[in-house]
Amino acid sequence: MAKVAFLGLGVMGYPMAGHLQAAGHEVTVYNRTAAKAEKWVSQHGGQMATTPRGAAEGAEFVMACVGNDDDLRMVCTGEDGAFQGMAEGSVFVDHTTVSAKVTRELYAAAKARGISFVDAPISGGQAGAENGVLSIMCGGDQAAYDRAEPVMQVYAKICRRIGDSGAGQMTKMCNQIAIAGLVQGLSEALHFAEKAGLDGRAVVEVISQGAAGSWQMSNRYETMLDDHFDHGFAVDWMRKDLGICLDTADETGASLPVTALVDQFYKDVQKMGGGRWDTSSLIKRLRAMG
- Give the DSSP H or E segment for 158: strand 156-163
Buried b (16+ CB within 10 A) or exposed e, 2-30: bebbbbbbbebbbbbbbbbbebebbbbbb
- Whether 3 sits among the annotated catalytic residues: the reply is no
Are 76 and 83 in contact by the 8 Å Cβ rule? The answer is yes
Q: Tell the burial category of 231 from Cβ atoms under 10 Å away from its Cβ (0-12, 13-18, 19+).
A: middle
How far apart, in Å, are the Cα atoms of 284 and each of 49, 51, 227, 289? 42, 41, 8, 9
How far apart, in Å, are the Cα atoms of 88 and each of 61, 83, 84, 85? 11, 10, 10, 10
- Please pick, among 39, 172, 240, 284, the residue that the annotation labels catalytic: 172
Beta strands in 199-274 (DSSP E): none
Are 117 and 143 in contact by the 8 Å Cβ rule? The answer is no
- Amino acid 53 reads R
Residue 92 CB coordination number (10 Å)? 31
- Amino acid 15 reads P
**Bridge partners of residue 161, in order along the sequence:** 138
The residues that are catalytic are 172
